[in-house]
Structure 1
Amino acid sequence: MANIIITGASSGVGFEAVLELILSGDHQVIALARSEGKLARLHEIALGLNPNCTLYPIAFDIVHDDYHDLVQFIADRFNGRVDILINNAGMLINKPFAELLEGDFVEMIQSNFLGHVRITQALLPLIGVNSHIVNIGSMGGFQGSAKFSGLSAYSASKAALHTLTECLAAELADRQIKVNCLALGSAQTEMLEKAFPGYESPVMAFEMGKYIADFALTGHKFFNGKIIPVALSTP
């Protein structure tokens, strides 16, 4: 049984990854997101799929909320050990560079980078040997990949997360904690539809969610410190 924490669990690939992780009943999952309503819906669907699943949905803002009570809750429920942390939360701003405000860059860095820094630091004392930290990046931040107009702030924030992944993998190697990043291409999610109205991705959210869940459980057996492109197009 793995003790798993996933952020950004109220919609999109995070929502679908949670449902995949609870299906077997072999794992305990703490699902974090800002929306209580969407988390309640997630819990309802999860119980419908597996009435015996162990899922704790918690409304929490990884950027702004205080971590003291959350860390205590996790330590109590997981007996002091986190096996997998999936840093999936994030936002996307699609706006031409000339129109971007400094605040837009700040928002992207906070949501897509600093929030993950905060939760990883807060939980590090609970993350043990052979654990796996999975950061959810983007092809937009993958060096050498095709770039798209309007995504400079978003892509830059994801690139920072990619580099953090490589640094953490080296720094945590002596503790036998593996750190990897999945640089996702597009998947049909609410965030994508809002940023690119009318665009239809060839990959459905549930397909990407399943991939993330499977990689979180097994990827550290094969990879460490890797930024892995998960896209149908070549970089």
Structure 2
Amino acid sequence: MKNVVITGTSSGIGFDLVKIYSKKKYNILSLSRSQINIKGVNHVIFDITDQKSIDNIKNIIKKEFKVVDILINNAGKLINKPFLDMSMEDFDSVFRVNLFGVANLIKNLYPMFNKSSHVVNISSIGGIIGSSKFNGLTAYSSSKGALNILTEVLAEEFKESGPKFNSLCLGSVQTKMLEEAFPGYKGQVKPKDMAKFIFDFANKGSSFFNGKVIPVSLSNP
């Protein structure tokens, strides 16, 4: 059975992903800043911006998994503020979660990937050139745009040895993060439905895609 590592699992899409993988008896390592209540799941409190936290996860995986077949980088941070109200600390905190932490986790787990491993970066439709943009999301959208470029470059750099890298750029999903950033706004997709899509893509997509930035949205652009 495949070994799966998922970040950002305390709620929303990540939480539903853990439930799906758990029901299908995958070996899961669930990572988030908060505890979760899913029986029988190997969950570790995790801060993607903290090197000690990443070192701890690396040691756990070496002992328990040996190989990471699927890594789903789902952890994310969104601050909704007008650009002129954004401090550099705000920008830094968003990029540390959405870009720098992802890059650091991938780098640290690289020795445990193999040629067939698949890294799925959960990005945003707002990070794609030409898509609709929203006021207040300068840091969030630009960090996701950078994550998409990271995905493309890593796929090229490791195309001979693996793993494969892809970004799924999600439209509006009715998550806690969306509700907090845009009170009253209703997402087009439920977290559990998006989780089902991501599950299928993470397991099968690497046979067809590498280095791709894929919009997953009901709106166009």
TM-score tier after normalising by the smaller chain length: over 0.9
Are residues 1:158 and 2:144 paired? yes
Any conservation in 2 of the 1:180–1:223 contact (CA below 8 Å)? yes
Distance in structure 1 (CA, Å) of the matches to 2:7 and 2:162: 23
Any conservation in 1 of the 2:113–2:162 contact (CA below 8 Å)? no
Distance in structure 1 (CA, Å) of the matches to 2:216 and 2:114: 27
Shift >2 Å, 4+ stretches:
none
Equivalenced residue count is 220
Distance in structure 2 (CA, Å) of the matches to 1:197 and 1:72: 40
Distance in structure 2 (CA, Å) of the matches to 1:200 and 1:222: 32
Are residues 1:131 and 2:117 paired? yes
Any residues of structure 2 matched to 1:77-156 within 5 Å, and which? 77-78=64-65, 80-156=66-142
Distance in structure 1 (CA, Å) of the matches to 2:187 and 2:146: 25
Match of 2:60 in 1: 73
Match of 1:22 in 2: 22
Secondary structure of 1:166's counterpart equals helix
Deviations 1:160-185 (A, max 9, x none): 10000000000111113210000000
Task: Return the match for 2:180 from 185, 194, 219.
Answer: 194
The aligned amino acid for 1:152 is T
The aligned amino acid for 1:110 is R
Distance in structure 2 (CA, Å) of the matches to 1:111 and 1:23: 28
More off after superposition, 141-150 vs 66-75: 66-75
Are residues 1:220 and 2:219 paired? no
More off after superposition, 158-167 vs 200-209: 200-209
Any conservation in 1 of the 2:33–2:45 contact (CA below 8 Å)? yes
Any conservation in 2 of the 1:96–1:149 contact (CA below 8 Å)? yes
Any residues of structure 2 matched to 1:5-44 within 5 Å, and which? 5-25=5-25, 27-36=26-35, 39=36, 41=37, 43-44=38-39
Any conservation in 2 of the 1:18–1:213 contact (CA below 8 Å)? no
Distance in structure 2 (CA, Å) of the matches to 1:81 and 1:144: 38
CA shift at 1:68, angstroms? 2.7
Any conservation in 2 of the 1:140–1:146 contact (CA below 8 Å)? yes
CA shift at 1:2, angstroms? 0.7
Q: Percent identity?
A: 46
In the alignment, structure 2 segments of 5+ residues that lack a partner are none
Task: Return the match for 2:43 from 57, 77, 83.
Answer: 57
CA shift at 1:98, angstroms? 1.4
CA shift at 1:147, angstroms? 0.4
Secondary structure of 1:174's counterpart equals coil
Any conservation in 1 of the 2:83–2:136 contact (CA below 8 Å)? yes
